[in-house]
């Protein structure tokens, strides 16, 4: 491995709970890398180790060539960290928060303002507003601005889009793309599977275990080709009926429909006729295009 972030066999326990189990992956320099998994998967624990807030019990991790345990003082100057929870001072204004975080790193806001200008643009209208009074999207922009004010080489973002609206989520990912163009390496964690496709490479994590690492495109290639959508007004009876069929390998809820994984022998027209005869008069089955969420469900079940 030769990435700017190197994670090798990292293990962390909380009593009997194994939060991270021999986690290993590498983040290429200048990339947007996603750590994808549900709540409780171990993402925040890994971030706390990478940002020197926790020590691993086993394994080694380096960021920009600096060991997260031995070189923790130097490391804190080259990374920008945006934790999941809003970590700024709610009783300080927008301007005061920005200047405070600049002072922590011994820099002047004016010196690095060009980096955050596109992000801070909407906030500059409200320099005297208390941070605690901002909307979710505005808090997100302020936190990102404070994480970038010392012009870090690496940006570590832990669940940055949790709790913000869809428009703000999309705007945030557009901002990350612009930061990448400026040479900043970004490691971003999320439980939103659709955001995985905005990353160049991703690591899927569940219950502290890395399930797979690759580009989103390469990972999706691993999906079963026989994947269908199924819908009806009576979704639960439909789910139960499909799970009983011999040619159905798996069936699970997926948004407003069901996703059905089948064998090659599965005949959707015949199944629809059978379901309608059994009382599901509006049952419908049609081909589906798999995505990262489908793969995650498959890998997580295989790992149980």
Interval 215-274: pLDDT, tens: 999 999 888 789 999 999 999 999 999 999 999 999 999 989 999 999 999 999 999 999
Span 81-93, pLDDT tens digits: 998 877 788 899 9
Length of the chain: 304
Confidence of residue 194 (pLDDT cuts 50, 70, 90): confident
Between 7-21, 119-133, 174-188, 202-216, the lowest mean confidence (pLDDT) is in: 119-133
Mean pLDDT of the region 281-301: 91
Please check whether residue 284 is in contact with residue 231, taking contact to mean a CB–CB distance below 8 angstroms. yes
Residue 193 has pLDDT above 80, yes or no: yes
pLDDT digits (tens, 9 = 90+) for 103-141: 988 898 888 888 888 888 888 888 899 998 988 888 888
Is residue 189's pLDDT more than 70? Answer: yes
Bridge-based pairing state of the strands 79-82 and 154-158: parallel
Share of residues in the chain with pLDDT > 70 (%)? 99
- H or E element that contains 25: strand 17-27
Element (H, E) at 228: strand 227-231
What is the predicted pLDDT for the residue at 1? 52
d(CA 259, CA 300): 16
Token readout for 249 is: 């390998």
Residue 208: left if φ>0, alpha if ψ -120 to 50, beta else—which one? Answer: left
Instruction: For residue 188, name the pLDDT band (cuts at 50, 70, 90).
Output: very high
Given this model, what pLDDT does residue 304 score? 63
- Average pLDDT, stretch 173-186? 93
């Amino acid at each position: 491995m030769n990435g700017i972030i190197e994670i090798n066999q990292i293990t962390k326990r909380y009593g009997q709970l194994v939060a991270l189990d021999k986690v290993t992956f590498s983040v290429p320099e200048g990339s947007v890398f996603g750590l994808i998994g549900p709540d409780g998967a171990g993402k925040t624990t890994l971030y706390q180790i990478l940002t020197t807030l926790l020590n691993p019990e086993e394994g080694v991790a380096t960021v920009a060539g600096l060991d997260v345990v031995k070189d923790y003082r130097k490391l804190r100057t080259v990374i920008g960290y945006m934790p999941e929870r809003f970590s700024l001072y709610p009783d300080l204004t927008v301007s005061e928060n920005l200047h405070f975080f600049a002072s922590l790193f011994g820099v002047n806001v004016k010196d690095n303002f060009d980096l955050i200008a596109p992000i801070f643009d909407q906030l500059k209208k409200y320099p005297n507003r208390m941070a605690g009074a901002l909307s979710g999207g505005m808090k997100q922009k302020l936190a990102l601005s404070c994480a970038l004010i010392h012009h870090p080489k690496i940006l570590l973002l832990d669940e940055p889009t949790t709790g913000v609206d869809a428009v703000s989520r999309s705007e945030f990912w557009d901002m990350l793309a612009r930061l990448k163009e400026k040479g900043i390496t970004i490691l971003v964690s999320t439980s939103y599977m659709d955001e995985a496709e905005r990353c160049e490479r991703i690591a899927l994590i569940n219950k502290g275990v890395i399930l797979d690492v690759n580009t989103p495109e390469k990972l999706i290639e691993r999906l079963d080709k026989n994947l269908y959508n199924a819908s009806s007004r009576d979704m639960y009876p439909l789910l139960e009926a499909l799970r009983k069929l011999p040619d159905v390998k798996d069936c699970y809820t997926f948004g407003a429909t069901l996703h059905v994984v089948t064998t090659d022998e599965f005949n959707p027209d015949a199944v629809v006729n059978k379901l309608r005869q059994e009382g599901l008069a509006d049952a419908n089955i049609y081909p589906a295009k798999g995505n990262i969420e489908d793969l995650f469900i498959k890998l997580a079940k295989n790992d149980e």
